[in-house]
């Protein structure tokens, strides 16, 4: 039987007004709170970490981002600045917790989506995993990952999806060992918007199944 770490999502949200009483900024920031009787210390430390992360972002919104909005409205901007960050927890079983944050920022007509992810081994405290930690041997993992993503891209191209060329170079230049999260099916590797495909593609995502020669949760130990 697999152990499950319970999680609840909490939110910080506020609308800020300018001197004329009109809303010029709105933010909504979600963050996780984990509960575990088995890994109490580890989850408590994670809770502190993600609460600080959320409150730091809140401070940014109420100060620097708010001042940017004020300046934009003085220069004729009509639409409120907005910052939304939503957290998702696709995997939370046994000693692994994997989560990602999607942030959308709207300012003066600009819209910049961004994703960040963390994967933790909480068995002996908190150890943040890199993608290579899920492969054995670790020194060959990047080639395996990029080769599989190239294969998936070729399939998706035949279905009409558009990716930048040359594909292999774009993947190498944009690849990050921290841009992944766990799912029950496999490891989800993602790229930022504009990295390997036009903005219409959003956040490009590729799932690499757990296999004997591929990623494995057991390789992280």
pLDDT tens digits along 76-119: 999 999 999 999 999 999 899 999 999 999 997 777 789 999 99
pLDDT at res. 200: 82
Give the residue range(s) of CATH 3.30.565.40 domains in the chain.
6-128
65 neighbors 72 (Cβ within 8 angstroms): no
pLDDT at res. 33: 98
Give the residue range(s) of CATH 3.90.640.20 domains in the chain.
131-220
Question: How many CA atoms lie less than 13 Å away from 99 in the CB half-sphere?
Answer: 23
Alpha helices (H) along 17-131: 40-60, 66-74
- Looking at domain 6-128, its CATH superfamily turns out to be Fervidobacterium nodosum Rt17-B1 like (3.30.565.40)
166 neighbors 75 (Cβ within 8 angstroms): no
What's the length of the chain?
221
Domain 131-220, second-level architecture = Alpha-Beta Complex (3.90)
Average pLDDT score over residue span 119-129: 93
Q: Does 213 or 64 have the greater pLDDT score?
A: 64
pLDDT at res. 221: 66
Three-class DSSP category at 36: coil
Q: What is the pLDDT of residues 176-218, one digit of tens each?
A: 999 999 999 999 999 999 999 998 888 999 999 998 778 988 7
Residue 98: name the closest of 188, 211, 35 by CA.
188
Question: How many CA atoms lie less than 13 Å away from 152 in the CB half-sphere?
Answer: 16
Using CA atoms, how far apart are residues 92 and 179, in angstroms rounded to an integer? 18
Average pLDDT score over residue span 8-37: 96
Three-class DSSP category at 27: strand
Using CA atoms, how far apart are residues 144 and 147, in angstroms rounded to an integer? 5
Q: What is the pLDDT of residues 136-170, one digit of tens each?
A: 877 789 999 999 999 999 999 999 999 999 999 99
Using CA atoms, how far apart are residues 149 and 143, in angstroms rounded to an integer? 10
Give the pTM.
Answer: 0.93
């Amino acid at each position: 039987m697999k152990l499950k770490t319970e999680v609840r999502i909490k939110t910080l949200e506020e609308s800020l007004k300018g001197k004329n009483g009109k809303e010029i900024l709105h933010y909504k920031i979600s963050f996780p709170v984990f509960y575990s009787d088995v890994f109490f210390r580890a989850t408590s430390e994670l809770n502190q970490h993600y609460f600080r992360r959320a409150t730091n972002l809140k401070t940014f919104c109420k100060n620097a981002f708010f001042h940017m909005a004020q300046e934009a409205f003085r220069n004729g901007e009509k639409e409120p600045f907005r910052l939304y960050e939503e957290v998702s927890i696709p995997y939370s079983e046994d000693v692994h917790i994997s989560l990602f944050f999607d942030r959308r920022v709207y300012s003066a007509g600009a819209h910049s989506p961004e994703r960040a992810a963390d994967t933790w081994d909480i068995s002996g405290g908190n150890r943040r995993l890199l993608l290579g930690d899920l492969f054995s041997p670790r020194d060959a993992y990047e080639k395996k990952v990029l080769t599989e993503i190239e294969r998936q891209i070729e399939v998706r191209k035949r279905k009409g999806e558009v990716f930048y060329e040359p594909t292999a170079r774009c993947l190498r230049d944009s690849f990050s060992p921290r841009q992944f999260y766990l799912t029950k099916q496999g490891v989800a590797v993602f790229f930022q918007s504009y990295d390997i495909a036009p903005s219409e593609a959003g956040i490009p995502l590729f799932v690499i199944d757990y296999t004997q020669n591929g990623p494995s949760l057991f390789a992280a130990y």
